[in-house]
């Protein structure tokens, strides 16, 4: 009787869970899955987006056209710059700030707020603000550098192809360092203080405590960060669009901006959906590989 009752209770719980999840599942299947399938489907056709105009099947011609387009590979270079920035600048600074604010130092709450403010601002407003800050004609940065003695300084950070993509990447770091600091700080607060106390008893200094205790125990947090950083670099749009619109000469054009221009600028819905499909596939593949990489490392240990 007990086993029968247990089975009936499990079925009731399953039914209740399905009922509560059904609205989200309907939205997920009806909106997200349907949109993905439609995007992949349209990537094989030539269409100008006008209602009533028939779709012309192209097969893989759209994919071949995109892969042979130098602008697409340039957009992937933009992604590489953002990933490099996220690895070499954003990651260490976010972790450093998280360690600082998690140690209960004086005014740590104020530091958290100050570091986090850029990530809650609208990206379009941030892009516009930095557009004026980096403006070579009276911009705040140029004016400040000239006022301290470098009168000949006049670098066009957003208008010069040599500096534009790196300037936008640095602004992205300024925006997201505080956001990722909060993620790392949440992981650090879960680490028991007894581990640090044991390390101090064994004679470990501050750096050794962070390297041998904090770093290994933040494995899951690192995994979340890496996935978010890479997928975010692949689909970055609003900040770049607000600052440069992909210019000059398309050197800051990310895949998402290229997709937008192909669809809404040139009415090339086929090529635009190809780029969207590539972003989707790369994001999924990177997420799977990163999860597997962290799992294998954990298994080996």
Give tens-digit pLDDT for 57-95. Answer: 999 999 999 999 999 999 999 999 999 999 999 999 999
- How far is the C-alpha of 254 from the C-alpha of 228, rounded, in Å? 17
Question: Is the confidence at residue 297, as pLDDT, over 60?
Answer: no
Helix (H) or strand (E) holding 274: helix 269-300
Task: Give per-residue pLDDT as tens, 102-155.
Answer: 877 777 778 788 888 898 999 999 999 999 999 988 888 888 988 888 877 888
* Selected residue with higher pLDDT from 214 and 84: 84
- How far is the C-alpha of 267 from the C-alpha of 150, rounded, in Å? 47
Average pLDDT over residues 270-285: 95
User: 60-300 falls under which CATH superfamily?
Assistant: MetI-like (1.10.3720.10)
pLDDT at 274: 96
Half-sphere exposure of 23 (CA within 13 A, CB side): 2
Domain locations along the chain: 1-42, 60-300
247: exposed, middle or buried (Cβ count in 10 Å: 0-12, 13-18, 19+): middle
The mean pLDDT value of the chain amounts to 88
pLDDT at 199: 87
Per-residue confidence band for 301, with pLDDT thresholds at 50, 70 and 90: very low
Task: Residue 277: name the closest of 291, 292, 262 by CA.
Answer: 262
* pTM confidence score: 0.88
Per-residue confidence band for 18, with pLDDT thresholds at 50, 70 and 90: confident
Helix (H) or strand (E) holding 111: helix 108-120
């Amino acid at each position: 009787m007990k086993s029968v009752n247990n089975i009936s209770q499990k079925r009731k719980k399953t039914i209740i869970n399905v009922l509560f999840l059904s609205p989200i599942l309907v939205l997920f299947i009806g909106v997200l899955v349907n949109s993905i399938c439609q995007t992949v489907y349209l990537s094989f056709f030539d269409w100008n987006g006008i209602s009533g105009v028939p779709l012309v099947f192209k097969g893989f011609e759209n994919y071949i056209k995109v892969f042979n387009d130098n602008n697409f590979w340039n957009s992937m270079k933009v992604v590489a710059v953002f990933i490099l920035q996220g690895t070499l600048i954003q990651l260490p600074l976010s972790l450093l700030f998280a360690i600082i604010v998690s140690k209960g130092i004086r005014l740590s709450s104020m530091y958290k707020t100050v570091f986090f403010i850029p990530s809650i601002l609208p990206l379009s407003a941030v892009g516009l603000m930095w557009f004026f800050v980096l403006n070579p004609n009276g911009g705040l940065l140029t004016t400040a550098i000239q006022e301290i003695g470098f009168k000949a300084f006049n670098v066009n950070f957003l208008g010069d192809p040599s500096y534009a993509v790196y300037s936008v990447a640095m602004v992205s770091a300024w925006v997201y360092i505080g956001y990722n600091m909060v993620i790392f700080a949440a992981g650090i607060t879960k680490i028991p203080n007894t581990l640090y106390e044991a390390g101090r008893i064994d004679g470990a200094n501050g750096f050794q405590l962070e390297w041998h205790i904090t770093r290994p125990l933040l494995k899951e947090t690192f995994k979340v960060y890496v996935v978010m950083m890479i997928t975010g670099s692949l689909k970055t749009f609003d900040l770049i669009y607000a600052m440069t619109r992909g210019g000059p000469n398309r050197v800051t054009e990310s895949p998402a901006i290229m997709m937008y221009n192909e669809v809404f600028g040139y009415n090339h819905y086929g090529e635009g959906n190809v780029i969207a499909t590539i972003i989707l596939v790369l994001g999924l593949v990177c997420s799977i590989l990163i999860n597997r990489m962290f799992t294998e490392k954990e298994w080996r240990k």
